[in-house]
Structure 1
């Protein structure tokens, strides 16, 4: 079946599923394959649960006209998403970076939604499957789509950019994330910059943090760039008023009080404000959107418990975000201060060195105590207590409760699932 014909089916039944546990009535089910499953084997179940059609790539499963046989289901999903992206008139904003992508996406979405019919990536569906699903959620009346793009190796952002074909783009930062896949920090810069490469090659517009020397160097004299800065008068000026404990900004004599902790969230807010101004959202509406955003899903959440203030930042971690969180933590909050840090993943050969750097930073901080959790931290040299696993520190906390009326930072990679510690604090 040609993509244009499949797209007509999609227009008639504009809902897509890749999981039989999440079948909507009259959706189109794409029978994707994984390392441990074959979606073709679930095609019949999808129809029984209410799917209008199923897309399969193994001939023996195409037993009726409700089965659409293609050469490769994943490629078909990606091609359909690209076709639909060009069928609709929505402007697409591509977003990538090492840290802060999801928070930035939500802030931009909140701001632009004040004036436009806007959709954005749901959760962190930002890979070779998530990006197509986001594009397929664009409706005919959608005016702006914010598409988050994640990557852990070279050429991935280039591939996703070719599917999404963004009209605008922004890179949050270049940090020490996925060093193993990218091959070091220079590899991260090169990989994330593939978004810029696409935009420049196609004469599209770029948004930048003009205080980031890497972004300025990458873009040079490129004309179609817009951005913010705290100092550079050539860009939209946004002033940081600190973060004690919440980020405050000043724009055109208007103070914006956010519900975000950590000075590292300043740039996330600033780009949302900058884009709002570019797209002619009035400043009072921008202020309202930024101030209404509340972090969730273990991203810099503030939790009050037993007289203590807990900063739960357990969604993800890498050396750059870990150091930024520690620096911000040291400047805010009441004493006594305690940190509970979990391993940072996907660092490859740099894992030992990067974990030791973090323990050294912690040693110089004014803290009541610190606890390191995970195999990588367990291998470091430090005077603070170390635990091989979350289960080990849970056993410890059962008989050694942390002091009440403290300020705690809990941060680690998603795989550590450090939110489990909340029940024992």
Structure 2
């Protein structure tokens, strides 16, 4: 969407971005509720604090320098393809300087500030999503240190790879290398948000190890309605997440909105069918998890799929993710709240699905049009997904290991038994006895 068409158009598009940003911001408290209902009753405060901590920390870092690293002009010699599209240059964007007070004296940049605010909410929720993998056993201070380092070293550059669409010379794009260099279709963050967070969650789960007594069925969600409330807030906010990523009001934004309804609806059915066959009973937690898995999968593809193919994607993703969450028991890693099984697996499915069913670019349409390279888009999608996965996993594992070996990342066995809430935060989620 070109924001320079006219003043009225720019204003309408900026207004939509501001509304969409508010919708996406409410998703992080939604994550807190979604995760909070599934942990132990004595870990709810800790779980929700990790999300609210991410809101505070990442919000500040984004305004300080995060926007510049993600969307600033490309650092170094822009004629060098090894540098172009890898990292933005925050020069002039400290505290959003050039957006707040334009060099030409024209004042605050309406559209630019709206876009910066919208993208800030993406950075916040990506960090918050990781926390579900280490529920019940992480120190809050260590989590905040990890969040600071990971969002700076991993998320801000990856956001530049995927979301930066700035043209600086009128002819050659200095946009991110994954989208512009590879031609990957990632409309709203299947790679930058979900694969990124899922890979980091897997790394931290391996670093922190298993919870005491970890085994299938050992722990049930302590508050199912809380989780359902979180899922509802996530779905509500996700309309801003996906439709807002068009950065304007047009048919693509409307298509993204419809797909954000259709895919998770079908994913609920896919998850519940598999759950009924596998376990004998469809559950409300399964319905909530199915909806989130469908939302994850449609995120990169909502602009390029017809609603019919969107529902097929949702049905497949719900079924596959229902099976994928069992991998932690078979492979022996404790991903507490299925960040890997839902966000990593769902993000990969949605990203690769585009290479087969994407309108005009997928395998099916390429074969129908007689394209000599029908697998080219699928290959690009796979490379983009793999690059983000490996980069995020390696850096997260190194950061987590360093923190664990220095100040400690995991709480002690005694504190885990006593409960993270009282030990770390001095609070109880349900103080039923005033004494």
Q: Same fold (TM over 0.5)?
A: no
Higher-Rg member (1/2): 1
Which structure shows the bigger proportion of residues in helix conformation?
2
Q: TM tier, shorter chain?
A: 0.3 to 0.5
Larger RCO (CA under 8 A, 6+ residues apart): 2
